[in-house]
Structure 1
Amino acid sequence: MPGATTPTRVVVIEDEPTITSAIADRLTAEGWEVSTALDGPSGVATVQRVQPDVVVLDVMLPGIDGLEVCRRIQADSPVAVLMLTARDDETDMLIGLGVGADDYMTKPFSMRELVARLKVLLRRVRRTEQAAAAPGPADPQVALEIGDLVIDRAGRRVMRAGVPAHLTPTEFDLLLCLATSPGTVLTREHLLADVWDWVDATGTRTVDSHVKALRRKLGSDLVRTVHGVGYALEIPAEPEDGLGEEAPGAGGATGPGV
């Protein structure tokens, strides 16, 4: 991550030159080092070459779309991604979050908000790295086990019923926030402040979308909605003894249930 003398590196992948230039100019004015790409393949190559701290990624791109770009760059080396979409479509947003985006903004957007969102993403990444480097009283080396859910805080890995789940950095932070107080209802505002570092309630849809992504990856029974308030992590039941064992004489292997 950038230090006191190292500029923040940003890659902007956007096929509209006027938008690309406007974003690049604004981020350069912030003192950040900006690289740009106008299509999917060159975007992937630029990220691999630059190794940025954060990526601004449009969904609709020539060559390969932004969703596939996100999959490829996250598979190579995980990086914070803010996705831009031309439609206020929750399905598109959920797909974007599912392939590794940390946040999204709908066009048209203000440059001021874009910069603010990117700074929040960077603060969260730094905070996570610092916590891993300097364990506090709640030692992150100790895995958190709640029923059949296991959260490896040091390795940032999650398993449910022995099955690994691939979570984005934001999804992991959200799950960990809920899991530190299982059964306790946390308001959307609390989650925004703790996970996203937002001090207002303008991003409540972001919380809702990430919760839906968690449910899709870990099971719909894991996070309970308290309408008008927020969310709580349900305590998963421990598997019963003998669950999943083969019946006498049964042939073939069986996998874990979903």
Structure 2
Amino acid sequence: MSRSQGSSSSLKRKRPGLSSPSQSLIDHERKLYDVIRSKKDMGIWTRDMKKETNLPDNVVNKSLKALHAKNLIKEVVNIQNKGRKHYMATEFQPSKELTGGSWYVAGSLDTDFIGSLRMFCVKYIAEEKVATVEQVTELIRGNGAFAVEVTKQQVEEIVRALVLDDEVMEVKSNGMGEFGSVPVGNVCYKCVGKGRGGGVKAVIGAMASIPCGVCPRISLCTPDGVISPRTCVYYTKWLDF
């Protein structure tokens, strides 16, 4: 037997004796950890974990501290319910439903980024007369105005919001005239009126006055969904105002 093989066997013999943080859990901690870990990238609210484990509040709180100290769980921000304690296993990254995806920074809607992207989308559509989402995406990437890469999905969500705001309209190409660069039948967009590219400010729709008008996740917003007007902190603040 070679020396390398002997070392490998020695390491294998030692592994069963090694302990990981999860192996040192007591019953209550293990029960709570298993529930949290089972939720994967969605995590779980403390009230829900108490219901599922049927453990007393003091036991849950003590176990959470122990699991956190052992780096087995982490607290994450749920953009729709920031006041709630939300936890998930450290091995998972929060889903977009929780964080809001690239539109959010530290749990807050990045209105500056959204506003700038809206402006660029309208500008390029106006300049090109007619443009597809793919064309606008490439134009924005080529401009280099943003420090981060702008994705096709982001542009598509922004353009949908612009359609709701009546700043651009969705049309289908007939392949003629201004539609010459777009294959026949393909969906594309053009500015309402002259648009910003023609020196005239685009028409601002009623949706622009409420948070929904700049929210790129509006297509996923439903009354009983994860993203919902009932739980949206920005919509609530607008109503209070």
Q: Say whether the fold is shared (TM-score over 0.5).
A: no
TM-score normalised by L of structure 2:
0.27
Q: Which has the higher strand share?
A: 1
